[in-house]
Structures are given as structure tokens and as C-alpha cells.
Structure 1
């Protein structure tokens, strides 16, 4: 089959190379000349394990070619046109569909040119005759891989495709960055949505040899499946992070809590890792887009807004903890390990480190950051004063504190004994991914704090000499801490019992929190529900895509 893929980003490149491996003749199209030229040389312009080999294989076989839109001759689109362009968030949270609309309009225009050439000067400009299922026949099928809000496919079809004789299929992707090649060939399920049964079956047959369940439904339902899946997974992450915050208060270990509840088959163990929250190109923008869609349709999706608020707060926990331990951060050298939003990718979109680092710099800290793959992608997005390196040990040289923001194997298996020798007192470790062994870190002389590891972090994994009073966090007197708010509190520094609307995180005010005076939703006794826009440095990251 001849197939075109529009957009050579993470999704489009994997789709194009995967389809070529399956024996199809694939044309990958992108508007970026530099990117197209690199693909033609069988070079992948980003890091995704296994993709470079797959692209090299496709190019060498002749089944995988690349072009700019202006280089594509009419009639070269083939049978299926996959659309895999970006749908970044707007400031409102809505999905920016400008790239999607441009791609679909371009496909329609290309097909009109083909019809005009075939029909000659006497060709009619009207609609194509309808097929047996009531939809136009004769053109390629547009297959939407980009994540678009429910209802988008119907509008695109009416606006651009029906008069051009092109059918539309929603075929959402469920690839995970870092394992996208594996996921393409081993899908959990394939979702196909269309108002054209024949187009839906054509796309479904493309994937039937993978042996995964195939869900064939209507367009809007397929679109909602994608949003629902991402929103539910984001909810699991925010929920375990809320439990983690409670574990810090009561002295429990969220890792054991997650294991205990994850063994229940109704819950499952995946996405129950407490930490700095979710990031990347999908969860933040898709959850925000669903929240915006709910507002457009006059539905108060309160659970989803809570998920967003919890995630915005989690990524700032290291800032609160370092402030609590050291007071002023002016002149403090802080190492941040991890710039990508997750291991095995160089994608820094919505990465917690990119929100945290500017705030540390604003408070006067000297920041050194390391990542084995994402340094160059992060560089233009960070203050110029930040020292960036692929080497963790280099970043740790002379650091008084370190934040583990991404659990790369290189960081988890680091020679932490050597790291201790290179760091300076008080050797504070904030394990933002609960990836390190607290007892080993303590034995090496670090003061350790995880997320929700209350049995290790109250006091903060620092040995208490005989005769000394117990301390919380990095060394405050325990009674004083109780007066100021429990260590690891959802709103560190907020006095218990005060109205949440007046609570503040150090000198970072939390605006928009529901005032409940320790009782109602958002009250101090239950934590503060702050929108991402209320937390400085968080909302600004939304438009990166």
C-alpha cells in the first residue's frame, strides 16, 4: 500500500518507519527543510531508542522516502494519508489545531489537483459521488494520528474533505516516548473511528497482523478514547502524589502503599509512582485540552482541575524543601539531575526540571544540571547562568544539594560514594522520583528526602546524635516545625488552620485557592487547590510543544 505521513516528529517518524518495515511504500513529509534533509540521510533529529535503526532500514530498502510539501507532485499521496502534526496547548488550555487544519486543507487541495488533471477542463467542481456508506469515494483516506478534541474530525470532514471526496478516520496513537518503536509493533489495542465503515475497515486491516484488539467506533468516540485514557492515567499519577503527601505527614512509605494497592487487579500497579508529577508532550496538553473542552460545553470537570492543580504543585516540592532546609538559597550550589521529562528521551516539553530551575535561579541559587540526552534541547529554555553538562558527577562538583528530577539509569546507578566526596555539606538529596535507596544514601552521609517516604524523611534521613532533639526536614527543631506546618505539607510554610486563600509557600503566594479555613475543599486541613496559573513558572511552560 502507498502511504503518506504528514509531520516527522516523534509520532510521525515512528509511524512512517514502522509502516515501511511492514512492507508499505511510505512518504514522510515535513515543512522543515533541515529535518527532511537529515531524514534523507537516515538521521533521526531526536532521541528515541531503536528509531534510528528502523529509519536506516527503511531508507536503505527504498520503501521510506522524505519530502517537503512543495516537492510532492499531485497523485503521489497514495491510499492513506496519516496526519501526525503537533497540537500544542494555547494559553487557555485549548488545543491549537492550526497545524492539523493546515495539513488537512493541504491534502484536500492536492486531491483536487489530481481530479482536475484527470477530468480535464470540463471537470465539475462539485462533490464526488457518494459511496455505498453515504460518504464520498475516490480519494485517499485521511487518518488522524494527532490528538484532537472530540468533535474535531466531524468539523474537519465537513469543512475540507467531503467536497474533495476524501474519507476521514480517527486512529489515535498510544505510543510512549522512550519505547515508541516497541509500542508500534506491540500495541495494547488499536482504535479506529470513522463515519465511513469502508474507510474504517481499510485502516483496521493495516494493523490486524499485530494481533491486538481492534476497537471500531465512530469518530467522536475514538477521539474521546484518547483523551479519556490520558486523563485517567494523569489522574492516577496525581492521586498517588496526594497519597504521598499524606504519607509524609503520617510517617508512611508511599512506595509500599503503592505496591499494596497496586496488587488489587481492579487498580493495577502502573502509574502509581509518586514523584514530581507528569510531563511531556501528551498528558499536560491533553488534560488541559479536555478541561477546556468541558468548560466550552458548560461542564464543571472538577476532578480534572484537581489533577492539574496537584501536578503543578508537585514539581515545585524541591524548591519548598530546599527553602525549608536552608532558608535563603542565595549562593547555594544546587545540582539538578535530569532535564528530559522522563528517561530514554530527549523531550523536555513540560519537564518538571524546566519549571524548577528558573525558580532556583531567581532565588539566587547557582544551578548545575545534567542529562545524558536532553542538554541541547533544554539549553535555549533555561537561564544562561545554568551550567549544563551530560555528566552527573560534573554537575555534583561542590553542590550542597541535589535534586533527582529524571530517573535515568545513569543517575540511579551513579557512584554515589564518589558523588558524596565531590559534594559539599550538608549534602542534601531530594529524590524527586523515589528512585534511590534511602538507607544507602543515609549510610553514605547524605541527608535524604523522597516524595511520600515519610518513614525515612521525618527526620530527613539525617542521623540524630544522642542527646539531641529530633529534627524534621534538613534539621529544623521538630516542635518548631509542628507550629509552622508538618514537613512535606501540601503548602509548606502555611500555618495550619489558616484560610487557604491566605496561605503562602514561602514568598510564592498561592492565589485562587478556595477559602475554607481548614475544613472545605482546598482548605488548609485538606491542602490548597491552586490552578497552574497561580504557581509562578508553571503556566509559562504550557505552550511549549
Structure 2
């Protein structure tokens, strides 16, 4: 079965969507087969944190026959999980939760949950601080609770860090806290490992069951054996490394993918001035097996909870070590500049935006999610408001999350309303439904290369094409 980079073609070239649909159908059969084959290898697993990573990981393991308990301080999330309602939107997640009802539960009681489990995944957030470094307050708090729960637990309990943390964090920050609170010694009295996640939001459920690779950073043989048994059903390369190496693999992976995006945008900006189709350029570039076409979709840059945060954290860590990561800094510089090119293009056709109604199609940082963290819509909307424009916006899933940051914006009930009521339309997120709209007679500034808009709009300008 095809895994890995080929499946990312959906994000790169539209002609591969049918191929991906077929692969996804085959995957449904595969999930059920894996589930049947692993029912007798039951583990009791605690998941600390029920965000995108935690909930997908927990429900995925429940599907494979394990007993799952989610631990979260947010009582609303706990209540939703116990009612089989996902607190976030992720394609396919709600269906999987309903299917596995009774195989998982959620609680705010750390001690009870940890004492009744044999394996704990730390899946809490590690947001950015103002200087770009990661904020470990959630991870440190989780570590304290784990340590307290392990204090009177005579069993060998394995703690796995799945949260994204800079190299050295698991052994230098997490380990001492657990040891202090528990009075026990890591790698002897309890296990400790690093198991980075590589889930793509919008495709996370699929990615859980079809990983490109599984990376396990581990030091002791008992922990290694537990995790090898847990991941035994997965048919993919499994890399066993030192803990610090596993932490670095996650950062290096995300930094490289972010670099590909910013590189594509730099080339796209050059191609636009030369009147060259950048998508054809990268179609040709991507045919080189050494390069791969994924993440060469030029446009307005990357957002989300991973790439911006992880690149900034790696920059900060590099500077702490006395290095000057020029390439990574350039990646972020290009990404911050790129969405504002939409405003530049718009002002060439509407020089004075004050009082003009500008439509924004797409608020999530990518399609098939309701996540607006670091969305490219944020700097675009900020710039429009600074110019005095009135904004009408629409997104199939992310309106409520976006409204928390911009309550002054008018939110439409449909994409059609945005087009009807606006003087110009900006296409910010590549939701599939935006490819079927009627753009005739409109000024369209496109950040995602929608072919129909390109053909129908009265005035059409693409960011990189």
C-alpha cells in the first residue's frame, strides 16, 4: 500500500485527488483489519491533553482495542468527550469516536486516571513565548501530576512525551520534575520516552493509521519493549533513537517542510514578474525523485499550530547555542511578508479601501479544520481593518474560532453571500467548495490558485501567478 509523500499530492496537484480518494477507501479496510488483529494486545493508556494530537492519538488507539482515559483540566472538553463529541473539528474524528464509544472516557482526576493506566502520553500544548521559545508550563504541570500519581504506584509505568519540545527538554525538564514528585528514578522505576507526532491537521485520523514513520526516543529496554509492542500493528519504518534525537527529528522535519513552502513562494514571486506559471515549474521540479512535489504549492504561506511555532523555537534554541540560523530566519521572513501581497494586489485595483466591503473566503489556516492558529487570514484581516475596509468573511468550519479575535468583522452564512455583498473577494483558504463558486463580474485576489476564479472573474490577480 502506498504511504507517505505520494499521499500529499492532494495538497500539491488537483489531479491526484481521485488517487487519494481511492487510497482513503482502501485505508478504511486496513483500519478495520488492524483493529481485528490487535484486539488481544490491550493496554491501559492515559492521554494527558485532548487537543488535536491527544484526541486523535487516544481515539486511534481505542480503535485498535486499547483502553483509553483522557485527562484534561477543561471540564467542557471532558464532558464533550464523555458524550462522544469532539471538542475540535477534524475530518473523520466524530465518526470514529461514536464507533468506539465505551472504549474511552475522560476525567479531570489525574491521580485516578494515572493509577489505573500503565502508559501515559503527554500531549499538552507547548505554545510560543514572545521571544519564540516554547512555553513549558503545561508540560511541567503535567509532569508534576504524573510524579505525584507515580509516588505510590509500584508498577513500572511508562511516560511518553508526544508534545513537541526542543531537544533536551524530556531529560532536562520533564524527567527531574517526575523524579522529584515521585521519589523514583527514571529508566529504572518508571519508563520515559519521546515519541513525536507527525499528524497533519485535516488529515490527522488518516495519518494516525498510515504513518510515514514512527520515531521512538528511548533509553531503557523495558520502555522500548512496551512501545514496540504498542506500535507493532503499524506497517511503516520504525526508528529507535536517543531521546534528544527524537525531539530534534520533529523540529528538523517541520523546519524543512516550512522551508519548502517559503522557497516555493520566493520562486513564485519571481515567476510572477517573469510571467511564468510557477505551478508548472514545480510540477517539473517535483518529478525529480530526490525532491518530491509536496509542499511546493506557492501562495500566501503557512500557518497552524506547528510550523510557525516550531521554526521560531528552533531559531531561539539555535541562538542560545551561539548559532545564527540564517535560512530558518529567512523562512519566517518570507512567510510573514507573503500574505500581505494580497493587500498590495488589491490596492492596485481599489487604491482607497476605506469604506469598501472586502470579502474574505477562508479563515482556517488550512482546509478540513477549524483551527485558526497562525492562519494567514489573521494578518490579512488586520491589514484590511487598518486600511479602513469593511470585511465580510466566511469559512465552513472556523467562523466561531475566528470571531474570538475579530468580533467586529461581519460573518456571512455562506460563501455565496460573501461574493454577492463584497466589492472584491480575497481567497485565503483552499476549501474545496470555493472551487465551485460563481466569480463572474468580481475583482478576485487569489492566494490559493482557484482555477474557476481565474477563468470567470472580471479582474483576477493571483499572488504568485
Output the TM-score relative to the length of structure 2.
0.87
Q: Secondary structure at the match of 2:232?
A: helix
* Structure 1: gaps (5+ residues): 116-137, 421-426, 454-545
The answer for the alignment partner of 1:102 in structure 2 is 141
Q: Secondary structure at the match of 1:72?
A: helix
* Structure 2: gaps (5+ residues): 1-42
The answer for the alignment partner of 1:479 in structure 2 is none
Q: Secondary structure at the match of 1:240?
A: helix
Q: Deviations over 1:466-495 (max 9, x none)?
A: xxxxxxxxxxxxxxxxxxxxxxxxxxxxxx
Q: Secondary structure at the match of 2:343?
A: helix
Q: CA 1:390–1:287 in 2, change beyond 3 Å: closer, same or farther?
A: farther
Cα deviation, residue 50, structure 1: 0.8
The answer for the alignment partner of 2:298 in structure 1 is 274
Structure 1 stretches of 4+ with a deviation exceeding 6 A read none
Q: Deviations over 1:38-92 (max 9, x none)?
A: 1111111111111111112222xx221111135726622x111001000111110
Alignment of 1:135-534 (within 5 A): 138-162=155-179, 163-164=183-184, 165-382=189-406, 384-417=407-440, 420=441, 427-437=442-452, 440-441=455-456, 445-453=457-465
For residues 447 and 114 of structure 2, what CA distance do their matches in structure 1 show? 52
Q: Secondary structure at the match of 1:331?
A: coil
Cα deviation, residue 390, structure 1: 4.1
Q: 1:90 aligns with which of 129, 132, 154?
A: 129
Q: Secondary structure at the match of 2:142?
A: helix
The answer for the alignment partner of 1:75 in structure 2 is 115
Q: CA 1:140–1:147 in 2, change beyond 3 Å: closer, same or farther?
A: same
For residues 71 and 451 of structure 2, what CA distance do their matches in structure 1 show? 43
Preserved CA contact (<8 Å) 1:375 1:389: no
For residues 378 and 62 of structure 2, what CA distance do their matches in structure 1 show? 36
Cα deviation, residue 166, structure 1: 2.2
Q: CA 1:73–1:154 in 2, change beyond 3 Å: closer, same or farther?
A: closer
User: How many correspondences in the alignment?
Assistant: 416
For residues 362 and 158 of structure 1, what CA distance do their matches in structure 2 show? 47
For residues 244 and 261 of structure 1, what CA distance do their matches in structure 2 show? 13
More helix by share: 2
For residues 136 and 238 of structure 2, what CA distance do their matches in structure 1 show? 27
Preserved CA contact (<8 Å) 2:162 2:197: yes
Preserved CA contact (<8 Å) 1:252 1:452: no
For residues 149 and 121 of structure 2, what CA distance do their matches in structure 1 show? 14
Preserved CA contact (<8 Å) 1:161 1:167: no
Cα deviation, residue 201, structure 1: 2.8
RMSD of the alignment, in Å?
Answer: 1.5
For residues 113 and 393 of structure 2, what CA distance do their matches in structure 1 show? 47
Q: Secondary structure at the match of 1:257?
A: helix
For residues 394 and 166 of structure 1, what CA distance do their matches in structure 2 show? 57
Preserved CA contact (<8 Å) 1:74 1:113: no
Which of these two proteins has the greater Rg computed from alpha carbons?
A: 1
Preserved CA contact (<8 Å) 1:48 1:177: yes
Q: Deviations over 1:313-346 (max 9, x none)?
A: 0111111112233222111111000000000000
Q: Secondary structure at the match of 2:99?
A: helix
Q: 2:99 aligns with which of 57, 60, 78?
A: 57
For residues 147 and 353 of structure 2, what CA distance do their matches in structure 1 show? 57
Q: CA 1:350–1:146 in 2, change beyond 3 Å: closer, same or farther?
A: same
Preserved CA contact (<8 Å) 1:74 1:114: no
Cα deviation, residue 144, structure 1: 0.9
Q: Secondary structure at the match of 2:360?
A: strand
Cα deviation, residue 23, structure 1: 0.7
The answer for the alignment partner of 2:88 in structure 1 is 46
The answer for the alignment partner of 2:73 in structure 1 is 31
Cα deviation, residue 373, structure 1: 0.5
Output the TM-score relative to the length of structure 1.
0.74
